[in-house]
Amino acid sequence: MKKHYILFYFLLFFLKGVSQDGYITFDNPTNLFRIKIDTSNPGNIWQIGKPDKQFFKKAHSLPNDIITDSINPYPVNNNSIFYLGINLPYPNPGWYQETDFSFFYKMDSDTINDYGKIEFSLDTGQTFYNLLRTYSFHVTDSTGNIIANYGNGDTIVFSGKTNGWYQFYSTLILLPSPDTIIFRFTFHSDSNQNDHDGWMIDDIGWFTWWEGIQENFYDFKIFPNPAKDILQIDSKRKIKEVSVITELGQTLLKNSITNMPVILNIRSIDNGLYIMKIVYEGDEMMMKKFLIQK
């Protein structure tokens, strides 16, 4: 119950600011009000400041970042949390929203049971979902090579030791468009002391764009709806690509299209409400909800 009160007061604060896109460097006060370190936990080690540790010597953009203690190694049996709140200016049940979210980080932890986790909430903190299990993402190393992504099934990415600064990037696809997104960053350590530096994050950025979709609902037809095993899509226009997406934005199926009508095998997808995303030649995109019921 105490955690819900903290989130409530946090919401009252960050909802004062509206942002379609933003950036947090931890050196400039702009948007820092969107960061809330969970002080209800007396053992919380997240700090905003200048790093001075064995491995964490400098921030990505000088001088400050957010770090699991700016001086000392992280302790054992620790769970430290901070939140990032983004208030979106155009919530609309008939609009599709895409939010691109990224940050730079360094990691120095035991690879067995010490790790970082990112979750998100679309209902002002009542429910949180693991970002790495829900949305597409990728991590690039300091030379730009992709070293982890959603397609490889990675669920614990923020662990071990990075070689320089890595960048995390994720795209959240939401229908309908919510009014807030809260990200929860958690660092966890086990009972083994290893004198590592932990997790250091800097230059958090986001960009959100919207597209009205109600007027596009009837540019293509899906049947049967509800569907069971096979689904057909008819359109008078040439389709380049189709995707089946969950309401939380996870892509379950994505096919390039060469022939019409489009026939999709959906036997492996569970019952539920989904979004059909259509990309036409010329890259115009349209969406429609449909139901799978077996």
230-235 and 220-223 strand pairing: antiparallel
Q: Which of 13-17, 258-262, 278-282 has the lowest mean pLDDT?
A: 13-17
Final residue of a structural domain among 193, 210, 227: 210
Domain assignment of residue 120, given as a range: 2-210
- 132 plus 271 within the same structural domain: no
Residue 34 three-state SS:
helix
Average pLDDT value over all residues in the chain:
84
Q: Which of 131-140, 169-178, 236-245, 260-269 has the lowest mean pLDDT?
A: 169-178
* Reported pTM: 0.72
Are residues 147 and 105 in contact, defined by beta-carbon separation less than 8 angstroms? no
Asked if the bond preceding 75 is cis, omega within 30° of 0, the reply is no
79-87 and 180-188 strand pairing: antiparallel
Q: Which two tokens stand for residue 66?
A: 């957010």
- 195 plus 78 within the same structural domain: yes
Are residues 160 and 105 in contact, defined by beta-carbon separation less than 8 angstroms? no
Q: Which two tokens stand for residue 205?
A: 């950025």
Is 88 buried (19+), middle (13-18) or exposed (0-12) by CB count in 10 A?
buried
- 106 plus 38 within the same structural domain: yes
- 110 plus 158 within the same structural domain: yes
- 163 plus 202 within the same structural domain: yes
Residue 213 has pLDDT above 50, yes or no: no
Q: What is the pLDDT at residue 10?
A: 53
- 197 plus 231 within the same structural domain: no
- 50 plus 148 within the same structural domain: yes
Are residues 205 and 102 in contact, defined by beta-carbon separation less than 8 angstroms? yes
- 100 plus 196 within the same structural domain: yes
Share of the chain above pLDDT 70, in %: 83
Final residue of a structural domain among 158, 177, 210: 210
State the Cα torsion 232-236-237-243 to the nearest 10°: -20
Q: What is the pLDDT at residue 112?
A: 79
Write the CA distances from 165 to 54, 105, 159, 242, 255, integer angstroms: 15, 6, 14, 35, 34
Question: What CATH number has the domain bearing residue 92?
Answer: 2.60.120.200
- 146 plus 229 within the same structural domain: no
The secondary structure of residue 292, as a DSSP letter, is E
79-87 and 35-37 strand pairing: antiparallel
Nearest to 292 by CA among 245, 225, 234: 225
Question: What CATH number has the domain bearing residue 283?
Answer: 2.60.40.3080
Q: What is the pLDDT at residue 38?
A: 93
Write the CA distances from 3 to 33, 40, 119, 178, integer angstroms: 18, 7, 15, 22
Amino acid identity, position 117: K
Q: What is the pLDDT at residue 216?
A: 45
Q: From the CB of residue 164, how many other CB atoms can be counted at a distance below 10 Å? A: 9
Beta bridge partners of 210: 97
Q: What is the pLDDT at residue 2?
A: 44
Write the CA distances from 234 to 215, 261, 274, 289, integer angstroms: 17, 5, 18, 15
Residue 142 has pLDDT above 60, yes or no: yes
198-212 and 95-108 strand pairing: antiparallel
Total domain count, the chain: 2
Are residues 198 and 67 in contact, defined by beta-carbon separation less than 8 angstroms? yes
Residue 212 has pLDDT above 90, yes or no: no
- 251 plus 123 within the same structural domain: no
Are residues 222 and 290 in contact, defined by beta-carbon separation less than 8 angstroms? yes
